[in-house]
Structure 1
Amino acid sequence: MADEIITETTESMDDYKAELESSFRKLSEGDIITGTVIAVSEEDVTLDLKYYAPGIIKAEELSSDPDFNLTESVHVGDVLEATIIRMDDGEGNLLLSRKEANDILAWDKLNQYLEDETVLHVRIKGIVPSGVIAYVEGIRGFIPASHLCLDYVEDCNPWLGKDVDVKVITVDPAQKKLVLSAKLVERERAKEERNHKIAMLVPGSVVEGTVETLMPYGAFINLGNGLSGLVHISQICTRRIKKPGEVLSIGQTVQAKILNTNDNKISLSMRAIEEEMVDTQAKEMKSVQEYVSNEAASTSLGSLLANLKLD
């Protein structure tokens, strides 16, 4: 029994010794440390640093985001990283800055976002000449007007306060330059949606569309629903033509057969429909000829005499 008591006491002392050594570890101004939030007020946040003194982060040292709300964004139990800016704030606490730590750590995260092509959800917080401002990891990011969406944006003001999905396209810590793009995300999503629509098309089926572009090698047909397909010049008609404009005009409504959708490109043929029509007409003509021939045979002289009754 005594041995058990001694063992338990020894284990407790070892645990305490580890915590004690941690609390007296050597820290210096400029170090980045991690702590758990134990108190939140409108003026500051208190962290448990596993140190003999707690850490204090003033509200103005928490974020560079002008719309940052301390009491809404930080909660007891959150784990934060911060830089020591003063070993003693005059009341025995370590004075910390999350902004300074973020300025160092955030750029590593942003580089990772760039490398991984991560899609980020941000809110537009400001309007500047030729674009808008949004914050990622507390860092001010610029979205050029040309990268707000797929369409041309002349006035950025209606975008203020909107949420958009973006990708990081430029990270330059030395110049503190972060550039984002919502257009890139929209373009990829539009491509995925288009590819899905194309995958639903059935080769061999007939579609109707409008001639939208004439090129030396063929014509592009607008099929609606954001899709268009190419009729190669050799597939426009059964006769040889030098250019599509000989038989087609912009805005003309045409029918075509889907040949294939390889590589998510729609290949069409008007010639196939024309050939099918000719083939159908030939079959109908043959049926008529056979019908006429059989009818003629059934009305021969022998047939007439066979049905003749003589009293």
Structure 2
Amino acid sequence: MEELKGNAAESEAQPTPAHVENGNDFEAEDLALMEQFLNDPAHDYRNLKYGDTVDGLIMRVERDEILVDIGSKAEGIVPSREMQSLAAEDRAALQVGDPLLVFVVQSEDKEGRAILSIDKARQERSWRLLQAAYEKGEVISARVVNYNKGGLLVNLEGVRGFVPASQVSGISRGPDTQKQSDMARMVNTDLRLKVIELNRNRNRLILSERQAMQESRESKKDELLASLREGDVREGTISSVCDFGAFVDIGGADGLVHMSEISWSRVKHPGEVLNVGDHLLVMILSIDHERKRIALSIKRTQHEPWSRVGERYQLGQVVEGVITQLTSFGAFARIEDGVEGLIHISEMGDEPMQHPREFLAEGAVVQARIIRIDPTRKRMGLSLRVNRESGEDVDESGEQGE
């Protein structure tokens, strides 16, 4: 018994081996190594789920599928049915190592690979960009791919949008046949558009070309107004004609040509001499920066006819004129654009009359003799008594005419 106790005491007195004594240190070291391994980005696999949009790298391109590294434990596959939105030339351009945005359709198939979609990824990205454009009020560009009875269909990287016919400036408001013809002509063209309604849950996207154009014009108008100076002569295009004048587009802004500034000749209605689409020169008369209005003149880009009357005409000269207006005291006859003379009722003949209409009609062509000229006051007196002796006529100053 004493021997056993002695052996036990001796055994307790012997030192503990180092690997046993430092067991806690070994465990801490192993945990640190494990943590380092897990924190290494090379071993940081993504836990993907349906709906995730991931930036991947193309590993292999095959006829029916594309192998993509998406940072998961296994590569993902894009089957051919999930890349229908890629044009043939875009698909042919795909190369190994290229970045590729994909949408997770299935996190894992039987082989442990994720099923991915290029179509849904492009659509997801488009919705996000459209939402941002809608919130910021930005103008975007889209291609017309088709049309229906109500308007145009556009494609925005996988998102189908609708542009009502009423929101397209190039579609007439006439018969349906004309509308359909206008819309057919616009297929495969690009339009500048603004998002006016977006509802992703209902897959609804409504756009307007008119609003985009209006905003663009407003921006250009501000720039144009800042650059204009009174007296400038600009090229323009008639955009509309109304009773009191015509509006002319001078490169981003419309200015008004009042009826009195259309021609040096008498004009009863702007539509007599102007048509929408006509190209012409206009002079800037005034600019209202606060109200953003521009007053224009067509006639002031041309020579003022009365400035040459003294050179071209003389007393006693017989000229041809067109009756433009009848009044109770006489008739006005145009002898050239911007130059009219008055035929007083007393100079129409020897027979008494109550009104010139008894003798003349508007539009009639007459031969008349000049009996008075006053270029300064822009007045000319005419007489239909062309065979009368010149010594019997007097001018406005009372001096005998020629």
Interval containing the TM-score (normalised by the shorter chain): 0.5 to 0.7
Asked if structure 1 preserves the Cα contact closer than 8 Å seen for 2:246 and 2:258, the reply is yes
Amino acid at match of 1:47: V
Q: Name the CA distance, whole Å, in 2 between partners of 1:20 and 1:111.
A: 35
Aligned to 1:78: 99
SS at match of 1:266: strand
Amino acid at match of 2:138: T
1:142 aligned to 149, 154, 162, which one?
162
Asked if structure 1 preserves the Cα contact closer than 8 Å seen for 2:247 and 2:256, the reply is yes
Is the alpha carbon distance of 1:35 and 1:267 closer, same or farther for their aligned partners in structure 2, counting shifts above 3 Å? same
Q: Name the CA distance, whole Å, in 1 between partners of 2:233 and 2:296.
A: 9
Q: Does the alignment pair 1:169 with 2:196? A: yes
Cα drift, residue 56 of structure 1: 0.7
| Rg (Cα) greater in structure | 2
Is the alpha carbon distance of 1:213 and 1:166 closer, same or farther for their aligned partners in structure 2, counting shifts above 3 Å? closer
Amino acid at match of 1:145: A
Q: Name the CA distance, whole Å, in 2 between partners of 1:180 and 1:197.
A: 27
SS at match of 2:40: helix
Asked if structure 2 preserves the Cα contact closer than 8 Å seen for 1:150 and 1:187, the reply is no
Cα drift, residue 67 of structure 1: 5.7
Asked if structure 2 preserves the Cα contact closer than 8 Å seen for 1:83 and 1:98, the reply is no
Q: Name the CA distance, whole Å, in 1 between partners of 2:249 and 2:41.
A: 69
Cα drift, residue 86 of structure 1: 4.3
Asked if structure 1 preserves the Cα contact closer than 8 Å seen for 2:196 and 2:206, the reply is yes
Asked if structure 2 preserves the Cα contact closer than 8 Å seen for 1:259 and 1:269, the reply is no
SS at match of 2:44: helix
1:49 aligned to 52, 70, 78, which one?
70
Q: Name the CA distance, whole Å, in 1 between partners of 2:139 and 2:284.
A: 39
Aligned to 1:249: 268
Q: Name the CA distance, whole Å, in 2 between partners of 1:225 and 1:159.
A: 26
* Total equivalences in the alignment: 247
Aligned to 1:33: 54
Is the alpha carbon distance of 1:121 and 1:37 closer, same or farther for their aligned partners in structure 2, counting shifts above 3 Å? farther
1:213 aligned to 242, 246, 257, which one?
242
Q: Does the alignment pair 1:258 with 2:279? A: no
Is the alpha carbon distance of 1:257 and 1:61 closer, same or farther for their aligned partners in structure 2, counting shifts above 3 Å? closer
Is the alpha carbon distance of 1:268 and 1:158 closer, same or farther for their aligned partners in structure 2, counting shifts above 3 Å? closer
Q: Name the CA distance, whole Å, in 1 between partners of 2:232 and 2:53.
A: 65
Q: TM-score, normalised by structure 2?
A: 0.49
Q: Name the CA distance, whole Å, in 2 between partners of 1:183 and 1:66.
A: 30
Q: TM-score, normalised by structure 1?
A: 0.60
Is the alpha carbon distance of 1:69 and 1:179 closer, same or farther for their aligned partners in structure 2, counting shifts above 3 Å? farther
Aligned to 1:5: none
1:18 aligned to 40, 49, 55, which one?
40
Asked if structure 1 preserves the Cα contact closer than 8 Å seen for 2:47 and 2:72, the reply is no
Q: CA RMSD in A?
A: 4.4
Cα drift, residue 53 of structure 1: 0.1
Cα drift, residue 172 of structure 1: 0.7
Cα drift, residue 71 of structure 1: 1.0
Asked if structure 1 preserves the Cα contact closer than 8 Å seen for 2:256 and 2:295, the reply is yes
Cα drift, residue 198 of structure 1: 5.2
Aligned to 2:116: 96
Asked if structure 1 preserves the Cα contact closer than 8 Å seen for 2:225 and 2:292, the reply is yes
Give unpaired runs (5+ residues) of structure 1.
1-9, 238-246, 271-276, 283-311
SS at match of 1:37: strand
Aligned to 1:293: none
> Deviation digits for residues 29-51 of structure 1, max 9, x if unmatched?
45443322222333222211122
Aligned to 1:87: 108
Is the alpha carbon distance of 1:137 and 1:113 closer, same or farther for their aligned partners in structure 2, counting shifts above 3 Å? farther
Q: Does the alignment pair 1:61 with 2:88? A: no
Asked if structure 1 preserves the Cα contact closer than 8 Å seen for 2:51 and 2:103, the reply is no
Percent of residue pairs bearing the same amino acid type: 20
